[in-house]
């Protein structure tokens, strides 16, 4: 088993929590892991990405080579497209559809969506809305992780355990809010994407 | 001992804690900040009372670490690459004095300039100062090299440089810990004048450093970090330094590279291993995440030896971070990129946060500067540097920490008036105070705006030495108290700020304006922390 994942979004949107959760789950499964993250300048509202690699074998590079990613998980729709050169032909793109507009030349939303829909393997979901619906408005990142969970070769329960470990110090309430968001995202993906439900 | 999931920077911190370090000294700087932050939060470090507060700048950090070494204890100084420029005087001379307790200097380079002004390669400093250097390829090596680095330093009697790059520093992987070593006891150098670099003794010390070169070479030659992997196909030999080795192996997932490989993790460059690969192979490919440091030396000025491939002949791009794709191309392998980035994808540069006080400072400054024509505002490095971008376009320089004030002085000397400097509070105490003293000394007409957000924001909100003492510092340096003005940068005080700026800009002499309002990131963070009262101790 080997999974190369690109996480993307805008600084401050919580992609590192997604990475940390998957990381914990990978550790629980005794898998090798490398996760390159972005710190510093671009965390101030700039484009951020993280390369996350999980494998049963030792991993060499901290960076995923071009065209080799199995999955892009994006908490922002335009940002999901920025990393397409990394996505393999068979790879999946799982993205939030709620834009984060902090630049004057943000493209028309329908054009962004139509670019996403051109891809053979994609799931586009309004994670912000789903997060609000399950009363976890600040957990759209975990909704996205839930939506991508069918594509991870990691048992779903391990992701919940990961959330418990990462948010445990912040109290039970925060843990539950994040788990609800994770569940809701997973449910949406399974209900709306036949392939996801088979996984 | 348990396995931990650590960033490369954190692995260095954990290696130092477990390796018997008594103190870390550092000034924040991406991508090195997480080393010290990790020590600050670490339970063992707290229990053992390991020194872990921030220093005013990199030079004070190296000097304090050297003082701790003088006293027989193990110390580490950490910084980003350009920090070593600031610390260079102390660093180079610490090689001449030598050490007592082990001294490790950990420097993070930033190829591709993800968060920096340049991509200088610290290995040149290691060679320049003639000390051993370690270059980890992964998180485990980062841990091991730091853990063992103190001993190497004590064995050879010189500081040891650990050089690593952004990618390793900010990438996480599992790290196996070793047993915790005790800290050293207090002890004085055997020779009471070891650290006295008066010429008569400096010559002795320098000769002793020269004399140790053979030992350092021998140590590197036999180092477990310099490994020769035999290969059948001698048409090419590959030398891979530090993290470059990972990118090489990535291209041979079954670990079946047909060519001989020399992995370098310890310098001085291992002579006989390099000699072997050069003699044995028809061509040699150099893989380095940084400048062509080894490549240049192998090539020589006349480039008359064997064919050396790398950054200098564009087999690898001359600038920027190395990656597995560059290496694939250099090996003649096909890189199959996915789809192109759709043209509608717009750039998303970093920006000042909504509600950031720097926004209000620039709004007021821009309005006032309209009256004075163009390009008279010098600035510095920090979040406020983002004021160079639209919509403000408010500042016209960002060179090195502290340069805003001294450049404004030079420009004023040349006849620019008003001549304005915008500097952050932490940058001011890092390197701006002596610059202000130069202005006071000559009563130069400059207006210095110290944007005080009570933190070192750009690097993630570390404590700032300036907090609570800025006015006193400025007045102490000789700025007239009536020309030290404190403002509150909020939209509702815009008019007032413009009025004061207008007055001070035309003043013929040194004036300091301190717009003061806490960084909204640290405000939010401390509110959150109060709310959940998490014990962040790991
Ligand atoms: C010599 C050197 N050391 C460290 C850095 C990294 N660095 C860049 S900006 C900055 C902090 C600036 O803090 P401050 O001046 O208070 O401005 P703020 O970001 O809070 O607005 C640091 C540490 C650097 N660029 N150069």
Delimiting residues of CATH 3.40.50.970 domain(s) in chain B:
3-211, 357-522
| Alpha-carbon gap, residue B132 to B220, rounded angstroms | 8
Delimiting residues of CATH 3.40.50.920 domain(s) in chain B:
227-330
Q: For B272-308, what is each residue's pLDDT tens digit?
A: 999 999 999 999 999 999 999 999 999 999 998 889 9
CATH 3.40.50.10490 holds for B227-330: no
Instruction: Provide the pLDDT for residue A193.
Output: 79
Cβ(B122)–Cβ(B163) below 8 Å: yes
Element containing residue B105 per DSSP (H, E): strand B103-109
Cβ(B132)–Cβ(B266) below 8 Å: yes
* Nearest atom, ligand 1, residue B464 CA: 16
Pick the CATH number of B3-211 from 3.40.190.290, 3.10.129.10, 3.40.50.300, 3.40.50.970: 3.40.50.970
**Quick one: B357-522 is in which CATH superfamily?**
Thiamin diphosphate (ThDP)-binding fold, Pyr/PP domains (3.40.50.970)
Tokens 């002085």, residue located: B409
| Alpha-carbon gap, residue B304 to A47, rounded angstroms | 45
Low-confidence ranges of chain A (pLDDT < 50): none
B425, two tokens: 């509070």
Instruction: Provide the pLDDT for residue B49.
Output: 97
Element containing residue B307 per DSSP (H, E): strand B307-309
Helix (H, G, I), strand (E, B) or coil at B526: helix
Residue of B141, B138, B62, B143 whose CA lies nearest to B104: B62
Query: Which of the residues B113, B339, B534 would you substitute to probe the A interface, choosing the one with the greatest number of A C-beta atoms within 10 Å?
Result: B339
User: To test ligand 1's pocket by mutation, which of B427, B429, B465 has the most ligand atoms within 8 angstroms of CB?
Assistant: B427
Instruction: Provide the pLDDT for residue A197.
Output: 66
Task: Locate the chain A residue with the closest alpha carbon to B535.
Answer: A169
Instruction: Please count the structural domains in chain A.
Output: 1
Q: Quick one: angle between helices A156-167 and A15-28, nearest 10?
A: 120
**Dist. CA A99 → ligand 1 center (Å):** 31
Residues with CB under 6 A from ligand 1: B 27-29, 58, 80, 82-83, 86, 381-384, 401, 424-427, 453, 455-459, 464
Is pTM beyond 0.80? Reply is: yes
User: What contacts B513, CB < 8 A, 6 or more positions away?
Assistant: B447, B448, B449, B450, B485, B487, B500, B501, B504
Per-residue tens of pLDDT for chain B, all 538 residues: 668 999 999 999 999 999 999 999 999 999 999 999 999 999 999 999 999 999 999 999 999 999 999 999 999 999 999 999 999 999 999 999 999 999 999 999 999 999 999 999 999 999 999 999 999 999 999 999 999 999 999 999 999 999 999 999 999 999 999 999 999 999 999 999 999 999 999 999 999 999 999 999 999 999 999 999 999 999 999 999 999 999 999 999 999 999 999 999 999 999 999 999 999 999 999 999 999 999 999 999 999 888 999 999 999 999 999 999 999 999 999 999 999 999 999 999 888 999 999 999 999 999 999 999 889 999 999 999 999 999 999 999 999 999 999 999 999 999 999 999 999 999 999 999 999 999 999 999 999 999 999 999 999 999 999 999 999 999 999 999 999 999 999 999 999 999 999 999 999 999 999 999 999 999 988 877 666 544 433 3
Tokens 């640290």, residue located: B522
Task: Give CA torsion, residues A59, A63, A68, A71, to 10 deg.
Answer: 90
Q: Show residues of chain A in contact with B347, CB under 8 Å.
A: 47, 103
- Radius of gyration of chain B measured on its C-alpha atoms: 25
The angle subtended at Cα B395 by Cα B393 and Cα B398, nearest 5°, is: 125
Going by alpha carbons, the residue nearest to atom 21 of ligand 1 is B383
CATH code for the domain in which residue A104 is found:
3.40.920.10
Kindly state the greatest CA–CA separation across chain B: 78
DSSP B327-375: HHHHTT------SPPPTTPPP----PPTT-HHHHHHHHHHHHHGGG-SS
């Amino acid at each position: 088993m080997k999974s190369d994942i690109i996480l993307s979004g805008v600084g401050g949107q919580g992609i590192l929590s997604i990475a940390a959760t998957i990381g914990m789950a990978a550790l629980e499964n005794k898998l090798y892991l490398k996760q390159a993250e972005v710190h510093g300048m671009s965390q101030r509202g700039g484009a951020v990405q993280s390369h996350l690699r999980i494998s049963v074998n030792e991993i060499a590079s901290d960076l995923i080579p071009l065209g080799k990613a199995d999955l892009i998980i994006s908490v922002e729709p335009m940002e999901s497209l920025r990393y397409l050169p990394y996505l393999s032909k068979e790879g999946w793109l799982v993205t939030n559809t709620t834009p984060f507009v902090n630049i004057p030349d943000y493209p028309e939303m329908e054009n962004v969506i139509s670019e996403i829909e051109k891809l053979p393997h994609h799931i586009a979901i309004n994670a912000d809305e789903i997060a609000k619906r399950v009363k976890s408005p600040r957990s759209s990142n975990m909704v996205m992780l839930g939506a991508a969970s069918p594509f991870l070769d990691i048992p779903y329960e391990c992701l919940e355990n990961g959330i418990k470990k990462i948010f445990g110090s912040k109290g039970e309430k925060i843990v539950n809010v994040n788990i609800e968001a994770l569940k809701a995202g997973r449910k949406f993906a399974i209900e709306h994407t036949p392939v996801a439900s088979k996984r | 001992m348990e396995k931990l999931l650590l960033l490369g920077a954190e692995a260095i911190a954990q290696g130092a804690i477990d390796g018997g370090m008594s103190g870390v000294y550092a000034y924040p700087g991406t991508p090195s900040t997480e080393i010290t932050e990790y020590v600050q939060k670490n339970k063992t470090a707290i229990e053992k009372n390991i020194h872990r507060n921030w220093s005013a700048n990199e030079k004070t950090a190296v000097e304090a670490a050297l003082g701790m070494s003088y006293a027989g204890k193990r110390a580490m100084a950490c910084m980003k690459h350009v920090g070593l420029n600031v610390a260079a005087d102390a660093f180079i001379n610490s090689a001449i004095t030598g050490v007592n307790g082990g001294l490790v200097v950990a420097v993070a380079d930033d190829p591709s300039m993800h968060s920096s002004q340049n991509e200088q390669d610290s290995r040149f400093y290691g060679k320049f100062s003639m000390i051993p250097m370690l270059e980890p390829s992964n998180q485990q090596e980062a841990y091991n090299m730091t853990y063992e680095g103190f001993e190497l330093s004590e064995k050879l009697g010189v500081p040891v440089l650990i050089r690593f790059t952004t990618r390793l520093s900010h990438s996480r992987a599992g790290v196996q810990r070793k047993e915790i070593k005790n800290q050293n006891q207090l002890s004085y150098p055997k020779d009471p004048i070891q650290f006295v670099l008066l010429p008569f003794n400096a010559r002795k010390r320098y000769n002793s450093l020269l004399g140790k070169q053979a030992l350092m070479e021998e140590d590197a030659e036999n180092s477990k970090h310099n490994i020769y992997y035999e290969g059948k196909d001698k048409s090419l030999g590959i030398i891979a330094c530090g993290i470059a080795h990972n990118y090489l192996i990535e291209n041979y997932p079954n670990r079946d590279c047909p060519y001989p490989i020399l992995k370098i993790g310890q310098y001085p460059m291992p002579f006989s291993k390099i000699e072997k690969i050069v003699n044995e192979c028809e061509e040699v490919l150099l893989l380095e995440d940084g400048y062509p440091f080894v490549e240049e030396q192998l090539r020589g000025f006349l480039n008359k030896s064997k064919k050396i491939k790398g950054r200098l002949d564009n087999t690898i791009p001359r600038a920027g971070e190395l990656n597995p794709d560059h290496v694939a191309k250099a090996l003649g392998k096909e890189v199959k990129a996915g789809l192109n980035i759709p043209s509608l994808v717009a750039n998303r540069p970093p920006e000042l946060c909504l509600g950031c006080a720097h926004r209000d400072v620039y709004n007021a400054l821009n309005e006032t500067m309209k009256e004075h024509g163009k390009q008279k505002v010098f600035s510095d490095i920090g979040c406020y540097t983002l004021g160079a971008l639209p919509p403000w376009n408010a500042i016209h320089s960002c060179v090195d920490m502290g340069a805003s004030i001294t450049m404004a002085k030079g420009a004023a000397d040349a006849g620019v008036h008003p001549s304005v400097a915008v500097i952050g509070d932490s940058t001011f105490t890092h390197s701006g105070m002596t610059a202000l003293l130069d202005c006071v000394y000559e009563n130069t007409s400059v207006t210095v705006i110290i944007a005080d957000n009570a933190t070192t924001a750009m690097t993630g909100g570390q404590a700032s030495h300036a907090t609570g003492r800025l006015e006193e510092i400025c007045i102490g340096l000789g700025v007239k108290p009536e020309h030290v003005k404190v403002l509150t940068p909020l939209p509702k005080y815009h008019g007032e700020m413009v009025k004061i700026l207008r007055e001070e800009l035309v003043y013929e002499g040194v004036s300091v304006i301190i717009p003061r309002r806490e960084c909204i990131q640290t405000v939010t963070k401390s509110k959150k922390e109060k709310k959940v009262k998490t014990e962040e101790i790991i």
